Amino acid sequence: MDLEIRNLSHHYDKLEVLRDINITIPSGQVVCVVGPSGCGKSTLIRLIGGLEQPAEGEINQIGEPPQGSLNPLTYIFQDFALLPWRTVEGNISLVLEGHPISREEVASRIANVLDRTRLSDFAHVYPKQLSGGMKQRVAIARALAVNPAVLLMDEPLSALDSQTRELLMDDLVSLWERERFTACYITHNLNEAVRLGHRVVVLSRRPGEIRETVDIDIPLSERKVDSPELARTQTKLWEMMREEALTADRQLADA
Amino acid sequence: MTDSVSGTAGAPITDDAPATEAGGRRSVPFRGGGFAPKPVWYVAPLMFVALVLLWEFGSSNGYISPLVLPAPTEVLGAFSDLVRSGMLAKHLQASLTRLVIGFACGATLGVLVGVAIGLYSIPRSAFKPLVAAIFPIPKIALLPLFIIWFGIGEGSKVATILFGSFFPMVIATYGGIDAVDRNLIRMGQSFNLSRVAIVRNIILPSALPAILNGMRIAASISIILLVAAEMIGAEYGIGAYVLLAGNLMATDQLIAGVATLSILGLIVSWLISLAERYFLRWRA
């Protein structure tokens, strides 16, 4: 299933947040959206998944979601959004409970995603006992449990320290290699964008407009931390964003 | 080099400054810590025993007139009379029945109204100002009205406790719901959970700590109101017993009754702590 965003504009009261956004997220690809803080990235991803209604423009699903998909558009949040009173297993079963599937299937789906995210030993642990990286792995497992068509990732690694971020990026790459999932990945971190994105969309400062779209042809698995080509792309992106970020920094939050 | 520094400073190193070594090396003085009082388990019982001993000493040596305050031994005597005559059980049974019914009904209704205020706009607009207006009224002042409305028997007494526990529960419940992490609700919506599932699995568990806290306050208010309610037209009940003792100037019985109430309050508070430890074990 592809996602298509057409002529999307949005405003809160009189504050214009997004202007004329056009993005296509083709099946099996990761599209990263980068932009300075406050440029409307988070609003964009909330609009894409239907958590907010756009003022203008449309967001379309093209094609059918895969068989057995319980929740085609599935989020992974920056703050993990795990229920602290439920164990790892309970947090995953939460999103399966409302669906007409048997108890055995719920159990097997949970076991399956815990295995895929290497969390099987932590099934009965509360989120509080886990590190930030492990919490985000649980959130990823929860997202995989509903067999999504598109993963909507809202700064999924921004709450983690840089070592954990590296580890989880490797995890996401190997996950993509195995499953070829489709994703829209919002971040302000250019390194994440060049490591994980097949395509990087650069937004301007508020109101967010598309400044540039950069395709990166190197396969995800071959993108090494110290690759000079990635470094060049990252520098190019930074040059585009530098001025926007500088101005955005001086922008008033409620102006 | 270090020698020349201490030499040019011209300050001879004396025995008055033991932390100063040759070359001006001193250990950094500690200035953190403090501001973190911790409970020391044996202090409270020790304090209690010391107070009672002091009180007994004062009474038996004539420093405290028996008219002003009876000796602890006398209070103990009154209490054991109460137990032996079987009256304690009778008074407690009457009081606990009123307390349990009034508190259970008041707390249940309070949670229901609190949830309605927390979830829906119309109940919120309708009841929130009403609750704010009625909560500060001392329910004891309304007791005469309750007697007219619900009769001089059990009705008015239970109603007083019910109203007393209802309002703090309403406020605690909607306060807890207002404080639910919006992002958890958004997560629920993003996974297409039904409204009922979001309320049951996300909103109510989030609000539970606040609700249990409200129960603690409501239970204390209930015990205060219990005594007030039993002061009119009650044959049995700890409140009636205390009132009668007061009228007869039987201060030993009065203190025995008051101590019973205090123990009752401690037990209720302990029960709520147990409930917290069970329901909120994910916080530990």
- Identify the closest residue of chain B to A127 by CA–CA distance: B282
- Distance from the Cα of A189 to chain B's closest Cα (Å) equals 22
Interchain contact A52–B (C-beta under 8 A): no
- Identify the closest residue of chain A to B209 by CA–CA distance: A85
Check whether residue A154 and residue A57 sit in a common domain: yes
Quick check: A80 and A58 in contact, CB under 8 A? no
Check whether residue A118 and residue A105 sit in a common domain: yes
Write the DSSP symbol of residue B192.
T
Contacts of B184 in chain A (CB under 8 A): 81, 83
Q: Do B191 and A71 touch (CB under 8 A)?
A: yes
For chain B, the domains span 70-283
Check whether residue A56 and residue A176 sit in a common domain: yes
CATH architecture of the domain B70-283 equals Orthogonal Bundle (1.10)
pLDDT in tens, B242-276: 999 989 989 999 999 999 999 999 999 999 999 99
Interchain contact A51–B (C-beta under 8 A): yes
> Per residue of chain A (255 residues), what is the pLDDT tens digit?
899 999 999 999 888 999 999 999 999 999 999 988 888 898 999 999 999 999 999 999 999 988 889 999 999 999 999 999 999 999 999 999 988 899 999 999 999 999 999 999 999 999 999 999 999 999 999 999 999 999 999 999 999 999 999 999 999 999 999 989 999 999 999 999 999 999 999 998 888 899 989 999 999 888 887 888 889 999 999 988 888 888 877 877 654
- Beta-carbon contacts of B201 under 8 Å, excluding residues fewer than 6 positions away, are A83, A94, A97, B188, B193
Check whether residue A60 and residue A153 sit in a common domain: yes
pLDDT band at B4 (very low <50, low <70, confident <90, very high): very low
In a domain, A254, yes or no: no
CATH of the domain at A203: 3.40.50.300
In whole angstroms, give the CA distance from residue A146 to residue A152.
13
Q: Give the domain-ending residue among A107, A130, A147.
A: A147
- Identify the closest residue of chain A to B200 by CA–CA distance: A94
pLDDT band at B2 (very low <50, low <70, confident <90, very high): very low
Q: What is the mean pLDDT of chain B?
A: 90
Q: Give the domain-ending residue among A147, A167, A197.
A: A147
- Identify the closest residue of chain B to A144 by CA–CA distance: B191
One-letter amino acid at B266 equals L
**Secondary structure (3-state) at A185:** strand
Quick check: B255 and B70 in contact, CB under 8 A? yes
Check whether residue A10 and residue A131 sit in a common domain: no
In a domain, A245, yes or no: yes
Write the DSSP symbol of residue A253.
T
Q: Which two tokens stand for residue B151?
A: 């009769």
In a domain, A73, yes or no: no
Strands A199-203 and A30-34: what pairing? parallel
In a domain, A227, yes or no: yes
Contacts of A94 in chain B (CB under 8 A): 191, 193, 201
Interchain contact B211–A (C-beta under 8 A): no
Candidate from A72-81, A199-208, B8-17, B100-109 with smallest mean pLDDT: B8-17
**Secondary structure (3-state) at A187:** strand
Check whether residue A181 and residue A197 sit in a common domain: yes
In whole angstroms, give the CA distance from residue A83 to residue A87.
8
Q: Give the domain-ending residue among A99, A118, A147.
A: A147
In a domain, A74, yes or no: no
- Beta-carbon contacts of A64 under 8 Å, excluding residues fewer than 6 positions away, are A1
DSSP result, B57-121? HHHHTTSS-TTTS--HHHHHHHHHHHHHTTHHHHHHHHHHHHHHHHHHHHHHHHHHHHHHHHH-H
Check whether residue A61 and residue A162 sit in a common domain: yes
Range(s) of the domain holding residue A195: 2-65+149-249
Interchain contact A86–B (C-beta under 8 A): yes
Burial B111-146 (b: 16+ CB within 10 A, else e): bebbbbbbeeeebeeebbeebeeeeeeebbebbeeb
Contacts of B283 in chain A (CB under 8 A): 84, 128
Strands A15-25 and A150-154: what pairing? unpaired
Q: Look up tokens 């037990």; give the residue.
A: B267
Which candidate in B180, B185, B186, B190 is best for mutational testing of the A interface (most A CBs within 10 A)? B190
Q: A185 - beta bridge partners?
A: A32, A153
Domains of chain A: total: 2
In a domain, A206, yes or no: yes
